[in-house]
Every structure is written in structure tokens, then in C-alpha cells.
Amino acid sequence: MPHFTALATLLAVLFYALLSVPVSQARVKAGIKAPSMVGDPAFERAVRVQANTLEWLPIFLPALWLAAIYISDPGAAALGVVWIAGRFLYARDYAEAAEKRGRGFYIQAIAAALLWVGAFVGVVKAMLHTI
């Protein structure tokens, strides 16, 4: 059972859930009433951080689990933690200025790509062993 990956998954989902806090705080601070989504740059950046994280979850989570199953639970979980750290940097830097989001974005994208490649290689190798 991939226990380390299960923990990394829970941490990633918790991180995503906690991103609603800065969105709510920015909405209140700017006085933007729902359902409006525009009007204050800080609010719009907070919304984009949350939305971009959601956009990456369907790329990250399947690759995380397939890499854990076919390659290594601790290795996949470690890359999962790197992904979360990249998302944290992305969120922190983007909240300050949109131009600063690059470092965190690249860290999480590389972690996701490594997981995806590992998962792909693992699945193909397993398939070839069954032929």
C-alpha cells in the first residue's frame, strides 16, 4: 500500500483547500461582492493561484499515484512534496506580483513532469512484461 503517496495526496488537497482563505480575505478587503471576479489586482491574483492549482491537480494526482504504484511509493511521495513546495512558492510569489510566479511554477511543473514520465515508463514496462 502506498502510504507515503497517500499522505502526499492529502497534503496536496489540503493545500488546495487552504487556498480559499486568501481568496476570501482578498474579496473582503477589496469589497468585491460575489459573484463578481474582477476589480482588484490582489483579489484576481489570489483567484488565479487557486484556479491554476486546480488546473494542475488532474495532471499531478494521476501521475503521482501511477508513479507510486509502478515505480516507488517514497520516490513519488517525495516528488509530491516538491510539487506542493513549488505550488506554495507560486502562491506566495504570485500574491506579491504576477511577474514573480515563475520559480514556483517551474518547480511544480518539473515535479509533475518527472512523475508523469516515471508513471508512463512504469506502466509501459509492466505492460511489456505481461506480453
Per-residue model confidence (pLDDT) at position 124 = 98
Q: What does the alpha-carbon distance between residue 37 and residue 51 come to, in Å, rounded to a whole number?
A: 12
Alpha-helix runs per DSSP H in the chain? 3-18, 20-30, 41-70, 73-96, 102-130
* Structural domain boundaries enclosing 68: 3-130
Buried b (16+ CB within 10 A) or exposed e, 19-29: beebbeebbee
CATH number for the domain spanning 66: value is 1.20.120.550
Count of structural domains, the chain: 1
Mean pLDDT of the region 108-130: 97
Q: What does the alpha-carbon distance between residue 87 and residue 94 come to, in Å, rounded to a whole number?
A: 10
Per-residue model confidence (pLDDT) at position 131 = 84
Assessment of whether the complete model's pTM goes beyond 0.75: yes
Q: What does the alpha-carbon distance between residue 62 and residue 65 come to, in Å, rounded to a whole number?
A: 5
Task: Answer for the pair 123, 66: CB distance below 8 angstroms, yes or no.
Answer: yes
Task: Answer for the pair 104, 86: CB distance below 8 angstroms, yes or no.
Answer: yes
Kindly report, residue by residue over 11-52, the tens digit of the pLDDT: 999 999 999 999 999 999 999 999 999 999 999 999 999 999
